[in-house]
Structure 1
């Protein structure tokens, strides 16, 4: 789930037409970056959750995008579900059995630019103590100087699908879908 956001920032920075040729550090705009996940609940409905307010760093090199990287992490307990009982169940031993300091992290391992504004970002997602390789399908939305901040900014969307049982979170599958759809929308600003 966290995976998509991390990769999205990197893709936007890499594909940015106005970026410098040397590797530059960008940081995620925590106020305008979010990860939305969804899953089928018993065939009756689609349930949603959200991660927001997280931070991460992107190093990108416009001359050699494959040499760019991204690293992001966030507390598991920063998850929002819209219903306190669902959040409590997700944090229980049935799923995360989360502590206050348990983190979700994503570190990119490779980037394949697939078009003028698209890229596949591969990286290691660590979730619930398990690390798996995931691929984010990323699209650059806009890359230029921010009209209010007056400095380089990039925004992008990305998607992926996770299999929750791969991360030891398969309780109630297949009745509650094992596949979780992840949608990411991220903004990143050039670091000072």
Structure 2
């Protein structure tokens, strides 16, 4: 009877071994292999990512846009405010080039030999270029604080000379705080638009 039990037990063990693919456990080996692959794959992915990053740093992105620039001439007063002098400046070429140029003019000169033609605190409120070549400039109320006719004339001439360098602008008319004016500081008649000198 003991022999029968041993034979039956041996047959059961052999049957189990045959059903699972032999006496060694290939499922465990297969799992070990998958675990190794899982560990290897992230390392391979990291290497691929490093190569992609290297390639990206060596190549210029397709959506990279090189900004165009343009040279403009701005007019500022000499230090004794007796005359206007030109100063070249390179600015980014934008759609509102007149506005950008006026903002540069109001910002003031880069050269220490020149001074701004605007009273302190003056800002550009609006600029409108008409199809007929008329440019309407709207300045803040600080522009009124010129000390004399010479300062007012320098400011008006600097604006007209700076803006009329563009082919789309022939004349400049002035507004203060959204109101049309016939004079800015009360010294120079601006009832008619002015052009570059």
- TM-score of the aligned structures, taking structure 1 as reference length: 0.32
Name the structure, 1 or 2, with higher relative contact order (CA <8 Å, separation 6+).
Answer: 1
Judging by fraction of residues, say which structure has more helix: 2
* Higher Cα radius of gyration: 2
TM-score by length of 2: 0.31
Q: Which has the higher strand share?
A: 1
